[in-house]
Amino acid sequence: MGDYTSAIDIRKLYKKIDTAGLTDNDIDFYIAMAEAEINGYISTKYTIPISPAPVLLRDISSELSLIKILDRFFTAETSSKNEWRDIRKKDVMSIIEKISKGDMLLITSSGTIISPRTDTTEIYSNTKDYTPIFGHGHYGDEIVDIDRIDDEDDARDD
């Protein structure tokens, strides 16, 4: 059993999975792989594992686990192509990436937004509009962009 989904959820999601003869322990192996991947993405925004698991996280964990099972037992071994699986994996990965970037929020079953981590920050530069001071030339030729100097002087005057 994973942090976000279970073998029972996977069996509910795709009833034909029982034709592969997988035990719950086998399915748990694929759940662990899927959740490790999900956690690798969302750990930049959230403390993991998130408990209790929000519905969205349970859903994408179940979907990604099922995709991994389908890859192994129904696609790879039969050398077949499954367009649904390719589209679904792209959709699931898009959701995971949105969560990791903060473009999609995780919400509890009661409708409360799960707070992202506050112990990480992104690097931000407010000098992107100016010519860099340092370059690959001689150190004596390096100068500060005159526009930057003017803007800093204007900011001090305010």
In terms of domains, do 18 and 69 share one?
A: yes
Q: Is 20 exposed, middle or buried (0-12, 13-18, 19+ CB in 10 A)?
A: middle
Q: How many distinct structural domains can be found in the chain?
A: 2
In terms of domains, do 13 and 85 share one?
A: yes
User: For 48-59, how does the pLDDT look when each residue is reduced to its tens digit (9 = 90+)?
Assistant: 999 899 999 999
Contact 131, 145 (CB under 8 A): yes
Q: Is residue 41 part of a domain?
A: yes
Reply yes or no on whether the pLDDT at 143 is more than 90: no
Q: Is residue 109 part of a domain?
A: no
In terms of domains, do 20 and 84 share one?
A: yes
Reply yes or no on whether the pLDDT at 27 is more than 90: yes
Q: Which residue has the tokens 């930057």?
A: 148
In terms of domains, do 40 and 82 share one?
A: yes
Q: How far apart are CA 57 and CA 153, in angstroms?
A: 49
